[in-house]
Amino acid sequence: MKIIISPAKKMNIDSDTFAAEGMPVFIKDAKLLRNAVRALTLQEAKALWKCNDHLARLNYERFQHMVPERGLTPAIMSYEGLQYQYMAPGVFTTEGISYIEKHLRILSGFYGVLRPFDGVTPYRLEMQAKLSVNGCKDLYDFWGDRLYKSVVDEDRIIINLASKEYARCIEKYMQPGDRFLTVDFGELSGEKVKQKGTLAKMARGRMVRFLAENGIENPEQMKEFREMGFSFREELSGKEKYVFVREESSR
């Protein structure tokens, strides 16, 4: 069983909490992407990233001076988004760390697939970026089915805690016999479940923590998740989707 999550835009450098262990599987491809970004002008890079001037200059300089083998932070500690804050990997137990090493994979537009303790350096390159490399029209085309092949394991179960932008890289290539289980978090609005981006990111992080702390190996056990006021709703769920709804009293 593998769990997939998205990266976050904001990154930091932290070599104190944990040491980086090894390099990303697709480091050669990351270097190709680095060189492609380096070849852009600042204005072209800004358009690619769709960000303000300050962030464009910061990330342009990062790419110009990037040496992928230096100044490395374990991937799980490098991202600062809400999902990572609510996962709180810095205080995982030894058992929890072993669990995420085995089961958790971070999808990345730049690195492809990351194991939790792969060494990374700050970058900005979202999967949906229209970067043309080696005749490929964008990053989805560049990565193709390689991320799926890297993630899927012998039991062929993938727990999807990633955003649609990143889940697409895996789901598109699923084969007969695979199980791609998406986990949704939301609130009831009439008879429909409404997802709120901020709340969903928080809940995804807490779900990863729940899985790791409890050593979950069977998706059925995920239904016991009861954090942040969420509970599993059988009548809204199915084989390919688990739906957790937040109770009104928790809002």
Burial (Cβ within 10 Å: 0-12, 13-18, ≥19) of residue 238: exposed
CA separation for the pair 7, 71 (Å, rounded): 19
Phi first, then psi, for residue 81 (nearest 5°) are -65, 170
For residue 192, the SS3 value is: strand
Per DSSP, the residues of 25-59 read TTHHHHHHHHHHHHTS-HHHHHHHHT--HHHHHHH
229 backbone φψ class: left, alpha, beta (φ>0; ψ -120 to 50): left
pLDDT at 250: 55
pLDDT at 148: 98
pLDDT at 52: 95
pLDDT in tens, the chain (251 residues): 999 999 999 999 987 888 899 999 999 999 999 999 999 999 999 999 999 999 999 999 999 999 988 889 999 999 999 999 999 999 999 999 999 999 999 999 999 999 999 999 999 999 999 999 989 999 999 999 999 999 999 999 999 999 999 999 999 999 999 999 999 999 987 778 888 889 999 999 999 999 999 999 999 999 999 999 999 999 999 999 999 999 765 55
pLDDT at 195: 85
CA separation for the pair 22, 64 (Å, rounded): 23
pLDDT at 108: 98
- Cβ neighbour number for residue 233 with a 10 Å cutoff: 16
CA separation for the pair 14, 75 (Å, rounded): 10
pLDDT at 155: 94
